Amino acid sequence: NYVILVMTCLPGAPIADRLNSFSEEQVQHLVEQMTKTFDAVRKLQPPNNHVCGIGGRDCVSYLMSFDPFGPFDSVAAFNTWMAHRARSRVDLGKHALPERSDVQATVFSHGDLTPYNVLVDEEGNFTGVIDWECAAWMPAHW
């Protein structure tokens, strides 16, 4: 039982390099293309409702930690870890940590979506997303 994420070379350049040269119509078309693509990605069915990296491995999120974390058996366990992590770093009042549902589906998420990881061609068409090393099954609010 192996889980493999295949990444290939894609045409285009990072949207960060081209976005300012696109018309409003091109940007709107690009948003529609990206929305359709990411809606499809988020509809992938998880093997279980764990919060974990591909194949049940640890999660990687440069926004959360320089070290891998998890996996978690449930969204509730992930939310508990996040709340503890936030409270241990900053003295936050309860109002600073929004309530999250502990009962929700996990969805497949890129995990590091930046303007440098989204590729577009010269006409403003979405050509793909690169750098999926942070991809994971995460809570829907992620």
pLDDT per residue as tens digits for the range 98-119: 566 676 889 999 999 999 999 9
Tokens of 118: 């989204």
Q: pTM score, two decimals? A: 0.80
The mean pLDDT value for 4-10 works out to: 86
Tokens of 56: 């049940």
pLDDT exceeds 70 at position 3: yes
| The amino acid at 77 | A
Q: Report DSSP state, residue 95.
A: G
First-to-final CA distance of the chain: 27
Please name the residue that has the structure tokens 């070379």: 9
Q: What is the pLDDT of residues 70-90, one digit of tens each?
A: 999 999 999 999 888 877 666
Cα–Cα dist 142/110, whole Å: 10
